Amino acid sequence: MIDWMLRSKHKLKLPTEDEALPGRSAPLKMEAIHTVLKTELKPPYPEGTEIAYFGMGCFWGAEKLFWNLAGVYTTAVGYGAGITPNPTYEEVCSGLTGHNELVKVVFYPAQVSYQELLKVFWENHNPCEGMRQGNDIGTQYRSGIYVSNQDQAATAQASKLSYDSALREQQCDLSTTEIVDQFDFYYAEEYHQQYLAKNPSGYCPNHSCDATGLPRFPKIT
């Protein structure tokens, strides 16, 4: 009963270091080649690429959005911004690792800008729901931008302010999106990678602006 109560509590609240599951030292096994793009999932990546990370609900549909963009070299899904090292999917879903479901996007900034990636991020989920996306409830579904450098951090902060301003004008709740610059990323299990390419009829909820009634992403000036 105590274990169930703890897990239920952490569907909506991040665990402390003492509450988090211990995890493991070895990474989860997975193939190294992207199912769709036929590129490497793990580094080293080609010269001229940059890495971005986003949390926007279930990572299956989110990853597909990014692998379809021109200028993206590769994508992968995993767990980040939590406590437990090398967590499993079941552990993340328990709410006792602190991780979010993330999409890793390796892209060529000369072909697709970070601002364009942010536009996809904002327009394709509801950033105002806290620890959930629609019927997907839990800390692993929170809205988040996880930056790789100071330029990304500044751009992400500016985009959040801009989007919140648009929300305020429409008398909507402001975004609960977190922006994090210090975090670990762990690749998810093989079956999660490019899930919707392997399972074309798989679960892919629509949390886009058109579905939620949220405003379109305002231009960054």
- Tens digit of pLDDT for each residue in 96-112? 999 999 999 999 999 99
Q: Does 71 reside within a domain?
A: yes
pLDDT for residue 129 is more than 80: yes
Cβ atoms of 13 and 142 within 8 Å: the answer is no
Mean pLDDT for all residues in the chain: 92
Q: Does 83 reside within a domain?
A: yes
pLDDT for residue 137 is more than 90: yes
Cβ atoms of 15 and 83 within 8 Å: the answer is yes
pLDDT for residue 211 is more than 70: no
Q: What is the CATH number of the domain that holds 100?
A: 3.30.1060.10
Would you state the pLDDT for residue 2? 41
Confidence of residue 4 (pLDDT cuts 50, 70, 90): very low
Cβ atoms of 88 and 189 within 8 Å: the answer is yes
Confidence of residue 201 (pLDDT cuts 50, 70, 90): confident
Q: What is the DSSP string of 8-46?
A: HHTTSSPPPTTTS----SSPPP--SB-TTT--BSSS---
pLDDT for residue 171 is more than 90: no
Domain count, the chain: 1
pLDDT for residue 9 is more than 70: no
Active site annotation includes 128: no
Residues 6+ apart with CB under 8 A from 121: 54, 56, 145
Q: Which of 11-20, 76-85, 195-204 has the highest mean pLDDT?
A: 76-85
pLDDT for residue 193 is more than 80: yes
Would you state the pLDDT for residue 203? 85
pLDDT for residue 1 is more than 70: no
Q: Does 4 reside within a domain?
A: no
Domain that holds residue 80: 36-212
Q: Does 27 reside within a domain?
A: no
Cβ atoms of 67 and 203 within 8 Å: the answer is no
Q: Is the dihedral of CA 185, 190, 193, 199 positive or negative?
A: negative
The span from the CA of 169 to the CA of 163, in Å, is 10
From the candidates 58, 128, 172, 204, which is the catalytic residue?
A: 58
pLDDT for residue 37 is more than 50: yes
The values of phi and psi at residue 75, to 5°, are -135, 160
